[in-house]
Structure 1
Amino acid sequence: MYLIAGLGNPGKQYERTRHNMGFDTIDELVDRHRIPGSGVQHKAMYGKGMIAGEKVILAKPLTYMNLSGDSIREFINYYKMDPETELIVIYDDIDLEPGQIRIKKKGSAGGHNGMKSIISQIGTQNFYRVKVGVGEKPAGWDLADYVLGRFSTKEREEVDKAIEEAADAVEVILREGIDAAMNKYNAKKKQ
Protein backbone atom coordinates (compact mmCIF):
# COMPACT_ATOMS: atom_id res chain seq x y z
CA MET A 1 0.00 0.00 0.00
CA TYR A 2 1.15 3.54 -0.77
CA LEU A 3 0.46 6.76 1.11
CA ILE A 4 0.14 9.60 -1.38
CA ALA A 5 0.10 12.86 0.55
CA GLY A 6 -0.58 16.21 -1.05
CA LEU A 7 0.56 19.20 0.98
CA GLY A 8 -1.46 22.36 1.43
CA ASN A 9 -3.51 24.39 3.86
CA PRO A 10 -7.16 23.63 4.67
CA GLY A 11 -9.89 26.23 4.31
CA LYS A 12 -11.55 28.24 1.56
CA GLN A 13 -9.10 31.13 1.88
CA TYR A 14 -6.23 28.84 0.76
CA GLU A 15 -7.95 27.13 -2.17
CA ARG A 16 -6.07 27.42 -5.49
CA THR A 17 -3.11 29.20 -3.86
CA ARG A 18 0.48 28.42 -4.82
CA HIS A 19 1.02 26.50 -1.58
CA ASN A 20 -1.88 24.11 -2.32
CA MET A 21 -0.44 22.29 -5.34
CA GLY A 22 -0.39 19.07 -3.32
CA PHE A 23 -4.07 19.36 -2.38
CA ASP A 24 -4.98 20.18 -5.99
CA THR A 25 -3.11 17.14 -7.31
CA ILE A 26 -4.79 14.85 -4.75
CA ASP A 27 -8.16 16.24 -5.89
CA GLU A 28 -7.21 15.39 -9.50
CA LEU A 29 -6.31 11.80 -8.50
CA VAL A 30 -9.53 11.43 -6.46
CA ASP A 31 -11.63 12.58 -9.44
CA ARG A 32 -9.71 10.55 -11.97
CA HIS A 33 -9.83 7.26 -10.03
CA ARG A 34 -13.13 7.83 -8.21
CA ILE A 35 -11.51 7.37 -4.80
CA PRO A 36 -14.25 7.55 -2.17
CA GLY A 37 -13.67 9.86 0.77
CA SER A 38 -13.19 8.00 4.03
CA GLY A 39 -13.49 11.05 6.26
CA VAL A 40 -10.89 12.46 8.62
CA GLN A 41 -8.28 10.33 10.36
CA HIS A 42 -4.68 10.94 11.45
CA LYS A 43 -5.24 14.71 11.14
CA ALA A 44 -6.04 14.44 7.41
CA MET A 45 -8.89 14.14 4.96
CA TYR A 46 -8.29 10.85 3.23
CA GLY A 47 -9.64 8.19 0.92
CA LYS A 48 -8.63 4.64 0.07
CA GLY A 49 -8.72 3.00 -3.33
CA MET A 50 -6.74 1.55 -6.20
CA ILE A 51 -4.52 3.32 -8.72
CA ALA A 52 -2.52 1.43 -11.36
CA GLY A 53 -3.26 -1.85 -9.59
CA GLU A 54 -1.86 -0.63 -6.26
CA LYS A 55 -3.74 -0.01 -3.00
CA VAL A 56 -3.42 3.66 -2.08
CA ILE A 57 -4.35 6.10 0.63
CA LEU A 58 -4.73 9.64 -0.69
CA ALA A 59 -4.30 12.17 2.11
CA LYS A 60 -4.58 15.93 2.54
CA PRO A 61 -3.14 16.80 5.98
CA LEU A 62 -5.34 19.28 7.87
CA THR A 63 -2.51 20.36 10.17
CA TYR A 64 -1.56 23.35 8.00
CA MET A 65 1.58 23.19 5.94
CA ASN A 66 4.19 23.66 8.65
CA LEU A 67 2.97 20.64 10.66
CA SER A 68 2.32 18.26 7.74
CA GLY A 69 4.69 15.69 9.22
CA ASP A 70 2.40 15.10 12.23
CA SER A 71 -0.30 13.63 10.00
CA ILE A 72 2.05 11.69 7.72
CA ARG A 73 3.87 10.11 10.67
CA GLU A 74 0.54 8.94 12.11
CA PHE A 75 -0.44 7.26 8.81
CA ILE A 76 2.97 5.58 8.46
CA ASN A 77 2.90 4.29 12.04
CA TYR A 78 -0.72 3.12 11.92
CA TYR A 79 -0.37 1.25 8.61
CA LYS A 80 3.22 0.10 9.35
CA MET A 81 4.51 1.56 6.09
CA ASP A 82 8.08 1.97 4.92
CA PRO A 83 8.33 5.67 4.02
CA GLU A 84 11.36 5.01 1.79
CA THR A 85 9.28 2.87 -0.61
CA GLU A 86 5.61 3.53 0.20
CA LEU A 87 5.33 7.31 0.61
CA ILE A 88 4.84 9.83 -2.20
CA VAL A 89 4.60 13.52 -1.22
CA ILE A 90 3.27 16.12 -3.67
CA TYR A 91 4.03 19.77 -3.01
CA ASP A 92 4.76 23.21 -4.46
CA ASP A 93 8.28 24.30 -5.44
CA ILE A 94 9.35 27.93 -5.97
CA ASP A 95 12.52 26.80 -7.79
CA LEU A 96 10.46 25.47 -10.71
CA GLU A 97 8.55 27.64 -13.17
CA PRO A 98 4.74 27.41 -13.16
CA GLY A 99 3.83 24.44 -15.33
CA GLN A 100 6.96 22.40 -14.57
CA ILE A 101 7.10 19.28 -12.43
CA ARG A 102 10.05 17.34 -11.02
CA ILE A 103 10.20 13.85 -9.53
CA LYS A 104 12.79 12.95 -6.87
CA LYS A 105 13.61 9.83 -4.86
CA LYS A 106 14.97 11.74 -1.89
CA GLY A 107 16.55 15.01 -0.83
CA SER A 108 16.59 17.80 1.68
CA ALA A 109 13.62 20.01 2.54
CA GLY A 110 15.07 22.76 0.35
CA GLY A 111 13.62 25.44 2.63
CA HIS A 112 10.05 24.09 2.34
CA ASN A 113 8.47 24.07 5.80
CA GLY A 114 6.05 21.24 5.04
CA MET A 115 8.94 19.04 3.92
CA LYS A 116 11.02 20.05 6.97
CA SER A 117 8.15 18.87 9.17
CA ILE A 118 7.85 15.53 7.35
CA ILE A 119 11.59 14.80 7.45
CA SER A 120 11.70 15.71 11.15
CA GLN A 121 8.68 13.56 12.03
CA ILE A 122 9.49 10.41 10.04
CA GLY A 123 13.25 10.53 10.55
CA THR A 124 14.33 10.17 6.92
CA GLN A 125 14.59 12.31 3.81
CA ASN A 126 14.56 9.23 1.58
CA PHE A 127 11.02 9.24 0.20
CA TYR A 128 9.48 9.94 -3.20
CA ARG A 129 8.44 13.48 -4.11
CA VAL A 130 6.48 15.08 -6.92
CA LYS A 131 7.19 18.80 -7.03
CA VAL A 132 4.87 21.20 -8.86
CA GLY A 133 6.43 24.49 -9.91
CA VAL A 134 4.90 27.75 -8.73
CA GLY A 135 7.69 30.11 -9.80
CA GLU A 136 10.18 32.23 -7.91
CA LYS A 137 8.88 34.95 -5.62
CA PRO A 138 9.34 38.46 -7.00
CA ALA A 139 12.05 40.63 -5.41
CA GLY A 140 10.79 42.44 -2.34
CA TRP A 141 7.91 40.04 -1.72
CA ASP A 142 7.46 38.18 1.55
CA LEU A 143 7.71 34.43 0.85
CA ALA A 144 4.60 33.60 2.91
CA ASP A 145 2.54 36.23 1.06
CA TYR A 146 3.76 34.86 -2.26
CA VAL A 147 3.05 31.16 -1.65
CA LEU A 148 -0.33 31.98 -0.09
CA GLY A 149 -1.22 34.09 -3.13
CA ARG A 150 -2.97 33.05 -6.32
CA PHE A 151 -1.76 32.69 -9.89
CA SER A 152 -2.46 34.99 -12.80
CA THR A 153 -4.95 33.57 -15.32
CA LYS A 154 -2.15 32.63 -17.73
CA GLU A 155 -0.07 30.98 -14.97
CA ARG A 156 -3.17 29.13 -13.71
CA GLU A 157 -3.63 27.50 -17.14
CA GLU A 158 -0.04 26.23 -17.03
CA VAL A 159 -0.35 25.12 -13.41
CA ASP A 160 -3.59 23.23 -14.11
CA LYS A 161 -1.73 21.28 -16.84
CA ALA A 162 1.12 20.63 -14.38
CA ILE A 163 -1.36 19.30 -11.80
CA GLU A 164 -2.64 16.83 -14.41
CA GLU A 165 0.95 15.92 -15.27
CA ALA A 166 1.79 15.46 -11.57
CA ALA A 167 -1.17 13.06 -11.28
CA ASP A 168 0.11 11.24 -14.39
CA ALA A 169 3.56 11.02 -12.75
CA VAL A 170 2.08 9.44 -9.60
CA GLU A 171 0.41 6.83 -11.82
CA VAL A 172 3.75 6.10 -13.54
CA ILE A 173 5.50 5.73 -10.15
CA LEU A 174 2.86 3.21 -9.07
CA ARG A 175 2.81 1.32 -12.38
CA GLU A 176 6.46 1.42 -13.51
CA GLY A 177 8.50 2.67 -10.55
CA ILE A 178 10.22 5.88 -9.50
CA ASP A 179 13.09 5.62 -12.01
CA ALA A 180 10.69 5.37 -14.95
CA ALA A 181 8.79 8.43 -13.70
CA MET A 182 12.02 10.41 -13.25
CA ASN A 183 13.18 9.47 -16.76
CA LYS A 184 9.85 10.43 -18.29
CA TYR A 185 9.14 13.70 -16.50
CA ASN A 186 12.49 15.14 -15.40
CA ALA A 187 13.86 15.08 -18.95
CA LYS A 188 11.00 17.30 -20.16
CA LYS A 189 11.82 20.95 -20.60
CA LYS A 190 9.23 23.66 -20.69
CA GLN A 191 8.49 24.58 -24.33
Structure 2
Amino acid sequence: MKYLVAGLGNIGIEYELTRHNIGFLVLDRLADEHNTSFEHNRYADKADIKYKGRHIHLIKPTTFMNLSGKALNYWLKELKVPKENLLVIVDEIALPFGNLRMRAKGSSAGHNGLKNIEQLTGGQDYPRLKFGVGDDFPRGRQADYVLSNFTKHEFEELPFKMDKAIEMIFSFCTAGIERTMGQFND
Protein backbone atom coordinates (compact mmCIF):
# COMPACT_ATOMS: atom_id res chain seq x y z
CA MET A 1 0.00 0.00 0.00
CA LYS A 2 1.19 3.47 -0.91
CA TYR A 3 0.70 6.67 1.09
CA LEU A 4 1.63 10.27 0.44
CA VAL A 5 2.35 12.39 3.51
CA ALA A 6 2.79 16.08 2.74
CA GLY A 7 4.16 18.48 5.32
CA LEU A 8 3.33 22.08 4.53
CA GLY A 9 5.76 24.94 4.95
CA ASN A 10 7.83 27.55 3.15
CA ILE A 11 11.26 27.01 1.67
CA GLY A 12 14.14 29.20 2.78
CA ILE A 13 16.27 29.53 5.86
CA GLU A 14 14.24 32.52 7.11
CA TYR A 15 11.15 30.29 7.48
CA GLU A 16 12.89 27.15 8.74
CA LEU A 17 11.83 27.24 12.41
CA THR A 18 8.57 29.16 12.12
CA ARG A 19 5.15 27.97 13.24
CA HIS A 20 3.99 27.89 9.61
CA ASN A 21 6.68 25.27 8.88
CA ILE A 22 5.56 22.66 11.38
CA GLY A 23 4.71 20.28 8.52
CA PHE A 24 8.30 20.43 7.28
CA LEU A 25 9.68 20.04 10.81
CA VAL A 26 7.60 16.91 11.53
CA LEU A 27 8.68 15.25 8.27
CA ASP A 28 12.33 16.18 8.85
CA ARG A 29 12.18 14.47 12.24
CA LEU A 30 10.45 11.41 10.75
CA ALA A 31 13.06 11.11 7.98
CA ASP A 32 15.91 11.47 10.51
CA GLU A 33 14.45 8.70 12.68
CA HIS A 34 14.33 6.39 9.65
CA ASN A 35 17.82 7.27 8.41
CA THR A 36 16.63 8.73 5.14
CA SER A 37 16.99 12.17 3.65
CA PHE A 38 15.03 14.39 1.32
CA GLU A 39 16.12 14.86 -2.26
CA HIS A 40 15.03 17.75 -4.43
CA ASN A 41 12.50 16.60 -6.98
CA ARG A 42 9.72 18.09 -9.06
CA TYR A 43 7.78 20.65 -7.00
CA ALA A 44 8.94 19.08 -3.72
CA ASP A 45 11.72 17.65 -1.64
CA LYS A 46 10.91 13.94 -1.40
CA ALA A 47 11.89 11.00 0.79
CA ASP A 48 10.57 7.45 1.06
CA ILE A 49 10.25 5.09 3.99
CA LYS A 50 8.82 1.62 4.52
CA TYR A 51 6.78 0.89 7.63
CA LYS A 52 4.91 -2.35 8.39
CA GLY A 53 4.50 -3.21 4.72
CA ARG A 54 3.48 0.31 3.74
CA HIS A 55 5.41 2.46 1.28
CA ILE A 56 5.20 6.00 2.62
CA HIS A 57 6.23 8.86 0.35
CA LEU A 58 7.09 12.07 2.22
CA ILE A 59 7.02 15.42 0.45
CA LYS A 60 7.80 18.98 1.45
CA PRO A 61 6.47 21.21 -1.36
CA THR A 62 9.01 23.68 -2.73
CA THR A 63 6.25 25.81 -4.22
CA PHE A 64 5.77 27.95 -1.09
CA MET A 65 2.77 27.45 1.18
CA ASN A 66 0.16 29.23 -0.94
CA LEU A 67 0.85 26.97 -3.94
CA SER A 68 1.11 23.65 -2.08
CA GLY A 69 -1.67 22.13 -4.17
CA LYS A 70 0.55 22.12 -7.26
CA ALA A 71 3.03 19.74 -5.60
CA LEU A 72 0.37 17.55 -3.99
CA ASN A 73 -1.64 17.21 -7.18
CA TYR A 74 1.49 16.31 -9.17
CA TRP A 75 2.72 13.67 -6.69
CA LEU A 76 -0.71 12.10 -6.16
CA LYS A 77 -0.92 11.49 -9.92
CA GLU A 78 2.77 10.61 -10.42
CA LEU A 79 2.75 8.01 -7.63
CA LYS A 80 -0.83 6.85 -8.28
CA VAL A 81 -1.75 7.32 -4.63
CA PRO A 82 -5.51 7.41 -3.95
CA LYS A 83 -6.63 10.67 -2.35
CA GLU A 84 -7.80 8.87 0.80
CA ASN A 85 -4.15 7.79 1.31
CA LEU A 86 -2.97 11.40 1.33
CA LEU A 87 -2.23 13.03 4.68
CA VAL A 88 -1.45 16.75 4.89
CA ILE A 89 0.33 18.09 7.99
CA VAL A 90 -0.50 21.72 8.61
CA ASP A 91 -0.22 24.41 11.29
CA GLU A 92 -3.47 25.34 13.05
CA ILE A 93 -3.97 28.58 14.99
CA ALA A 94 -7.38 27.45 16.31
CA LEU A 95 -5.67 24.78 18.43
CA PRO A 96 -3.46 25.42 21.48
CA PHE A 97 0.24 24.81 20.94
CA GLY A 98 1.03 21.13 20.54
CA ASN A 99 -2.57 19.89 20.33
CA LEU A 100 -3.02 17.51 17.43
CA ARG A 101 -6.20 16.81 15.55
CA MET A 102 -6.68 14.54 12.54
CA ARG A 103 -9.63 15.08 10.22
CA ALA A 104 -10.86 13.06 7.23
CA LYS A 105 -11.91 16.26 5.45
CA GLY A 106 -12.88 19.83 6.15
CA SER A 107 -12.67 23.43 5.11
CA SER A 108 -9.47 25.40 4.68
CA ALA A 109 -10.53 27.70 7.55
CA GLY A 110 -8.73 30.52 5.75
CA HIS A 111 -5.41 28.63 5.45
CA ASN A 112 -4.03 29.54 2.02
CA GLY A 113 -2.07 26.32 1.61
CA LEU A 114 -5.21 24.25 2.20
CA LYS A 115 -7.25 26.51 -0.11
CA ASN A 116 -4.80 25.83 -2.94
CA ILE A 117 -4.87 22.08 -2.27
CA GLU A 118 -8.70 22.16 -2.45
CA GLN A 119 -8.60 24.04 -5.75
CA LEU A 120 -6.07 21.76 -7.42
CA THR A 121 -7.08 18.35 -6.06
CA GLY A 122 -10.83 18.86 -6.43
CA GLY A 123 -12.30 19.52 -3.02
CA GLN A 124 -12.00 19.26 0.74
CA ASP A 125 -12.16 15.46 0.99
CA TYR A 126 -8.59 14.66 1.96
CA PRO A 127 -7.18 13.75 5.39
CA ARG A 128 -5.19 16.30 7.33
CA LEU A 129 -3.28 16.39 10.59
CA LYS A 130 -3.61 19.78 12.24
CA PHE A 131 -0.77 20.75 14.56
CA GLY A 132 -1.77 23.43 17.04
CA VAL A 133 0.45 26.51 17.09
CA GLY A 134 -1.81 28.64 19.28
CA ASP A 135 -3.22 32.08 18.64
CA ASP A 136 -1.22 34.43 20.85
CA PHE A 137 -1.23 37.41 18.50
CA PRO A 138 -2.95 40.80 18.35
CA ARG A 139 -5.83 41.30 15.96
CA GLY A 140 -4.64 41.60 12.37
CA ARG A 141 -1.19 40.13 13.09
CA GLN A 142 -1.89 36.49 12.22
CA ALA A 143 0.59 36.38 9.32
CA ASP A 144 3.39 37.80 11.47
CA TYR A 145 2.59 35.26 14.17
CA VAL A 146 2.65 32.12 12.00
CA LEU A 147 5.82 33.34 10.27
CA SER A 148 7.58 33.89 13.61
CA ASN A 149 9.73 31.36 15.47
CA PHE A 150 8.46 29.26 18.33
CA THR A 151 9.06 30.54 21.86
CA LYS A 152 11.82 29.02 24.00
CA HIS A 153 9.23 27.02 25.99
CA GLU A 154 7.57 25.79 22.76
CA PHE A 155 10.98 24.71 21.37
CA GLU A 156 11.52 22.63 24.49
CA GLU A 157 8.14 20.90 24.07
CA LEU A 158 8.32 20.55 20.28
CA PRO A 159 10.17 17.19 20.07
CA PHE A 160 7.52 15.46 22.23
CA LYS A 161 4.67 16.95 20.21
CA MET A 162 6.33 16.03 16.91
CA ASP A 163 6.84 12.45 18.13
CA LYS A 164 3.11 12.21 18.81
CA ALA A 165 2.42 13.55 15.31
CA ILE A 166 4.70 10.84 13.89
CA GLU A 167 2.81 8.18 15.87
CA MET A 168 -0.40 9.52 14.33
CA ILE A 169 1.08 9.36 10.81
CA PHE A 170 2.02 5.71 11.26
CA SER A 171 -1.37 4.92 12.79
CA PHE A 172 -3.09 6.59 9.81
CA CYS A 173 -1.06 4.40 7.42
CA THR A 174 -1.63 1.14 9.33
CA ALA A 175 -4.87 1.37 11.36
CA GLY A 176 -6.77 3.91 9.25
CA ILE A 177 -8.12 7.36 9.88
CA GLU A 178 -11.13 6.49 12.05
CA ARG A 179 -9.13 4.49 14.59
CA THR A 180 -6.37 7.10 14.58
CA MET A 181 -8.82 9.93 15.26
CA GLY A 182 -10.44 7.95 18.08
CA GLN A 183 -7.15 7.09 19.72
CA PHE A 184 -5.15 10.30 19.33
CA ASN A 185 -7.27 13.41 18.77
CA ASP A 186 -6.91 15.99 21.54
TM-score (normalised: structure 2)? 0.94
Q: What amino acid is the match of 2:158?
A: V
Task: Please list the CA deviations of residues 134-189 of structure 1 after superposition, one character each: whole Å capped at 9, or x if unmatched.
Answer: 00142235221111001211122233322111111001111211111101111x4x
In the alignment, is residue 24 of structure 1 matched against residue 22 of structure 2?
no
In the alignment, is residue 46 of structure 1 matched against residue 46 of structure 2?
yes
Name the counterpart of 1:35.
Answer: 36
Name the counterpart of 2:62.
Answer: 62
SS of equivalent to 2:45? strand
Q: What amino acid is the match of 2:104?
A: K
Q: How far did 1:10 drift?
A: 0.8
In 1, distance between residues paired with 2:31 and 2:152? 24
Name the counterpart of 2:179.
Answer: 180
In 1, distance between residues paired with 2:171 and 2:140? 36
Q: What amino acid is the match of 1:98?
A: F
User: Which structure 1 residue ranges, 5 or more long, are not aligned?
Assistant: none
Q: How far did 1:28 drift?
A: 1.4
SS of equivalent to 2:165? helix
Q: Is this contact kept in 2: 1:134–1:159, CA < 8 A?
A: no
- Paired residues, what number? 185
Task: Please list the CA deviations of residues 53-76 of structure 1 after superposition, one character each: whole Å capped at 9, or x if unmatched.
Answer: 200110000111000001111101
In 2, distance between residues paired with 1:126 and 1:66? 19
Q: Is this contact kept in 2: 1:8–1:23, CA < 8 A?
A: yes
In the alignment, is residue 87 of structure 1 matched against residue 89 of structure 2?
no
SS of equivalent to 2:66? helix
In 2, distance between residues paired with 1:97 and 1:80? 35
In the alignment, is residue 72 of structure 1 matched against residue 72 of structure 2?
yes
Q: How far did 1:35 drift?
A: 2.9
Superposed counterparts of 1:90-109, under 5 Å: 90-109=89-108
Q: How far did 1:36 drift?
A: 4.1
Give the stretch that moved more between structures: 59-68 or 40-49.
40-49
Name the counterpart of 1:124.
Answer: 123
In 2, distance between residues paired with 1:179 and 1:10? 32
Name the counterpart of 1:11.
Answer: 12
Task: Please list the CA deviations of residues 15-46 of structure 1 after superposition, one character each: whole Å capped at 9, or x if unmatched.
Answer: 11000010011011101222343x22231000
User: Which structure 2 residue ranges, 5 or more long, are not aligned?
Assistant: none
TM-score (normalised: structure 1)? 0.92
Q: How far did 1:49 drift?
A: 2.1
Name the counterpart of 1:2.
Answer: 3
Q: Is this contact kept in 2: 1:33–1:51, CA < 8 A?
A: no
Q: What amino acid is the match of 1:9?
A: N
Please report the RMSD computed on the Cα atoms of aligned residues, expressed in angstroms. 1.3
